[in-house]
Amino acid sequence: MQIFKLFSPIKSVISLKSLSCSIALVLGFASTIKAETPETIPQKLETVIMEIETAANQKDLSGLMEHYSPEFTNNDGLTKESLGATLTEIWNNYPRLRYTTTIKSWEQEGDELVAETVTQIRGVQPTRGRVIRLNSVVTSSQHFLNGKLIRQEILSEQTQLTSGNNPPKVRVIAPDTVEVGEKYNFDVIVLEPIGNEVLLGGAIQEPTSSERYLNPTTLELEQLSAGGIFKTAEAASIPENQWLSAILVRGDGITMITQRVRTQD
């Protein structure tokens, strides 16, 4: 048994949580019954989304923050101020992050415009002689008022970080949404034969929180007898978001996964 500090790669997973929920740029989900198609999106909404994406790709923090309301909030507790501080650290770690945003739908809700988008985030981070490759897909609900982003809810996210010459290729089985108190499977399956290689792994379940974004977590690794991690998780007793994180380590590579699960009544 080994204690594994969630060092730069895993810390990046946790950083990625803030990355996902903050700079997932106007990711959205229209929660009303009727959603308009991307083809009919208002020009002012399309423009602000494009400007946010451009500022993020250019690492222009001041330009990006111009599109956020001083009252900005999200479902993980981020504010405009804490978002700016988080992004500064993320961009220092991943100077070549690239964001690609697809608008799925939009809706007018009173004076607000709500956009449903999916954003893919890719990047690399050199650290301690390693190169960490990042790939994240995030969907969320973005509410705009008078051209400013005022509220955000992350609906789904999955982040994968890999390092080494041959990181384990995995398939993740976990739901995006569960009911309060529901038990469900969190499986991270290695897709290639293990053979005689030693495979270490560990997993953790924790509530989402702005305080957890940049703070490394200590994870206990164990030698795995099977080709992956197979856990039974239990949803929270109240409606909240949780992160499921797992790491698989072998001699020629490391793979880390974080997935969001939303608990609903």
pLDDT at 23: 37
Task: Provide the pLDDT for residue 193.
Answer: 87
Kindly state the tokens that stand for 114: 């709500």
Query: What pLDDT, on a 0 to 100 scale, did the predictor assign at position 36?
Result: 61
Q: Would you say the pTM of this structure is higher than 0.85?
A: no
**pLDDT at position 37, please?**
62
Give the neighbor-by-neighbor strand order of the sheet with 170-173.
Answer: 170-173, 183-190, 228-234
Parallel/antiparallel/unpaired status of strands 68-74 and 148-163: parallel
Residue 130: its pLDDT value, please? 83
For the stretch 242-252, pLDDT in tens is: 999 999 999 99
What are the angstrom distances between the C-alpha of 29 and each of 81, 119, 199, 241, 242? 24, 12, 39, 16, 19
CATH topology of domain 2-264: Nuclear Transport Factor 2; Chain: A, (3.10.450)
Tens digit of each residue's pLDDT (9 = 90 or more) over 117-126: 899 999 998 8
pLDDT beneath 50: ranges in the chain: 1-35
pLDDT at 214: 66
Beta bridge partners of 230: 187
- The answer to whether 25 and 56 are in contact (CB under 8 A) is yes
Q: Residue ranges per domain, the chain?
A: 2-264
How many residues in the chain?
A: 265
